[in-house]
Structure 1
Amino acid sequence: MSGNDYLGLSQHPAITEAMRNALDTGSGSGAGASRLVTGNRPQFSLLEQALAEWQQCESALVCSSGYTANCGVISALAGRGDVVFSDRINHASIVDGIILSRAVHARYRHNDMEHLRWLLEKHRSARRKLIVTDAVFSMDGDAARLLELAELKREYGAMLMVDEAHSGGLYGSYGEGLCHVLGVHRDVDVHIGTFSKAFGVYGAYVSGSQTLIRWLTNKARTLIYSTALPPHVIAGILRALELVQAEHEGRKRLAAASVRFRSALVNVGFRTESGDSPIVPLIAGEKASALRFSEALDVAGIAAVAIRPPTVPAGTSRIRFSLSAAHTDDELTDGAARICEIGRTLGVTAGE
């Protein structure tokens, strides 16, 4: 209960078959070079065209991973004299991308739009302003205030970059993401997504305008100097994209399960974060408490990892439960009961 295989597609036979067929047809085990040298294949163009259509934008670019996508994109778009405004609990890859860019790093308090507005006003004269946020935050499971971010972006003439790593595939009629559900996707200048979570494969993508993608192709160092994804991985992603768009029942089932599971923990007194995502953090407090909890869960047959500083702030060590559409109702009901019993035994919950 700690992985990111949200739709259960990592074991889907159609994806593994597509990858096996690509290997059997002589595509080789690796790309052999970066995309700008000899690592590019026709399948990349097919995938990027399909991604652009799915995201309802002009163009898309496939990258090696979500980490390299964030680092490469931010450092290609911002530099000295620019300011990047970042939510305080954004993913480490976003933080590292800002550091690499050498731009001013203006961190705003988590989902605090008034603090962000104050920072935007303070840096109003900056050469270039880039607001960056996760759509769903990986350790808390809550969502960014995307509607307000879009308003501030327009008001202050900033660019807006949204990482849908933990929401892509899960929200929207066809899994397009939270930005599409809220109707702000046209305000998002840079859309980031991964294939390693809801897609069940590996890699990442950037989507946006043709100008953006041409710029990144020539400026994003993590793309230029990384070996391209192997052809059989691209074949698997192409098949996964079809499955994600058709996974209507899986999205509904996961959304309902996330509500039930979170309610089961809250009802017995556990401290968790609000939200409707499949990421459900159970706050244990100190590092030792989280580690004891995780060890007891493992003995009870539940794989749930303790997350502790520096990944999360001191005093908020937690068990980060992460649900999947592959979990059955019985597994989640039984799992919640075991978790509640262990919590009572360890004194983590205030429930009676």
Structure 2
Amino acid sequence: MNSFEYLEKEIQVWKDRGTYRPLTELESEQGSKVSINGREVIQLSSNNYLGLTTHPRLKRAALEAVERYGAGTGSVRTIAGTFSMHEEFEAKLARFKHTEAALVFQSGFTANVGVLSSILSEKDVVISDALNHASIIDGIRLTKASRRIYRHVDLEDLEKALKETQTARTRLVVTDGVFSMDGDVAPLPEIVELCEKYDALVMVDDAHASGVMGRNGRGTVDHFDLNGRVHIQVGTLSKAVGVLGGYVAGPFVLRDYLIHRARPFLFSTSHPPAVTAACSAAIDVLLDEPQLVDRLWENTRFFKEGLARLGFDTGKSETPITPVMVGEDALAMKFSDTLLQEGVYAQGIVFPTVPKGQARVRTIVTAGHSKEDLEQALTAFERAGKKLGII
């Protein structure tokens, strides 16, 4: 019987390089501060942009749904797992996104995989930004369509790919709205114009823009006033929305097709009532409490300015995702460990998540952070950065 010695050897290599990282256990709710190893620290690594994971309206909605509908659904959506609340939430989500329809998946990852693996065939071409999310990359791997990768946000390279693929039945251009590691924003107006010029479809993954950009957090499509001009919008319910899941928003025909052909949707049990109810409550909060988004951006500007003043390199970030560039993998991890000693939880990100030589500590501020939290965090960054010679 074969053993797993080869896996043990590979893990040992990671340990020797200083890039091995065990899971971090949180001993508290997900807030601006969390408890780790019995100690309260400032949280700068969660995707809880608006603090909705603990919002009273979401918690109340989840509890009421459990009491009324139970803990689970007991089936996939296409057999016996579609409750009225699922359909009602998707209709609400479509109205929020200014699209004809929406369909919820178990995660943002499965939403991307479900779309790309099901709607394209060998007659088609998918054209993807080089720094798109891993779920887009895996979705492309599962399709029989030809693929072209264009240089990151390089419009000339994108146009070249569009020119060279005009014999295909369908060209689908796919981009993140906000890129998750660097925090930069796709040049969506120019991408849409090119796709209209060359008769191509546009798909935007707005995972890190949902709840963050656009009116009431509707995403980059709304931020750039492109409603009705982007064919497929993918988003998440797991980040700023504060709960769990992903969604696809677009025309009715797309929703209908995905229900019948998207394998992650077909073969996964539907979201439990608590999740669906809490997600629905989150949309109400986005509509009723826009000040949360305003506060998120105020905190973002304050923290970015503080890091720049200290001399840190934050790359090309334009959003609450603010990488503190380090370069060397082991140093990034050591920086993260030193920050934790100083009372800040901010994870190091290294290869293969980012290219070699571009290791960083990635930070995300939230609407829940106070100015005092962020001032303390900046002090910790200054101490750790000077201790390690990063600044």
Give the TM bin, normalised by the shorter chain: over 0.9
Contact 1:169 1:245 in 2 (8 A): no
2 CA distance for matches of 1:117 and 1:316?
28
Q: CA deviation at 1:105?
A: 2.2
2 CA distance for matches of 1:291 and 1:242?
39
Query: Who is 1:199 aligned against?
Result: 241
Q: CA deviation at 1:190?
A: 0.4
**Counterpart check, 1:12 vs 2:68:** no
Name the stretch that deviates more: 163-172 or 296-305. Answer: 163-172
After TM superposition, which residue ranges in structure 1, 4 or more long, deviate above 3 angstroms? none
Q: Which amino acid aligns with 1:217?
A: I
Contact 2:52 2:240 in 1 (8 A): yes
2 CA distance for matches of 1:336 and 1:268?
8
State the identity %: 40
Q: CA deviation at 1:102?
A: 2.3
Query: Who is 1:263 aligned against?
Result: 305
Name the stretch that deviates more: 6-15 or 120-129. Answer: 120-129
**Counterpart check, 1:3 vs 2:46:** yes
Query: Who is 1:138 aligned against?
Result: 180
Query: Who is 2:345 aligned against?
Result: 303
1 CA distance for matches of 2:359 and 2:147?
26
Q: CA deviation at 1:291?
A: 0.7
Q: Which amino acid aligns with 1:261?
A: F
Q: Secondary structure at the match of 2:80?
A: helix
Aligned pairs, number: 348
Query: Who is 1:92 aligned against?
Result: 134
2 CA distance for matches of 1:328 and 1:104?
48
Query: Who is 1:180 aligned against?
Result: 222
**Counterpart check, 1:52 vs 2:94:** yes
2 CA distance for matches of 1:320 and 1:172?
23
Query: Who is 1:24 aligned against?
Result: 67
Q: Which amino acid aligns with 1:269?
A: G
2 CA distance for matches of 1:81 and 1:149?
22
1 CA distance for matches of 2:65 and 2:205?
30
Q: Select 2:162's aligned residue among 110, 120, 143.
A: 120
Query: Who is 2:363 aligned against?
Result: 321
Contact 1:259 1:276 in 2 (8 A): no
Deviations 1:153-209 (A, max 9, x none): 101111100011101111222221121121112111001111111111101111111
Deviations 1:19-38 (A, max 9, x none): 1111112x121111110011
**Counterpart check, 1:212 vs 2:254:** yes
**Counterpart check, 1:160 vs 2:202:** yes
1 CA distance for matches of 2:352 and 2:145?
23
- If the length of structure 2 is used for normalisation, what is the TM-score? 0.87
- If the length of structure 1 is used for normalisation, what is the TM-score? 0.97
Q: Select 2:171's aligned residue among 114, 125, 129.
A: 129
What are the ranges of 5 or more consecutive residues in structure 2 without an aligned counterpart? Answer: 1-43
1 CA distance for matches of 2:227 and 2:153?
19
Q: CA deviation at 1:272?
A: 1.3
1 CA distance for matches of 2:388 and 2:241?
36
Q: CA deviation at 1:247?
A: 2.6
Contact 1:139 1:312 in 2 (8 A): yes
Q: CA deviation at 1:281?
A: 0.3
2 CA distance for matches of 1:43 and 1:59?
15
Q: Which amino acid aligns with 1:18?
A: A
Contact 2:343 2:380 in 1 (8 A): no
Name the stretch that deviates more: 184-193 or 34-43. Answer: 184-193
CA-atom RMSD in angstroms = 1.1
Q: Which amino acid aligns with 1:158?
A: A
Q: Secondary structure at the match of 2:217?
A: coil
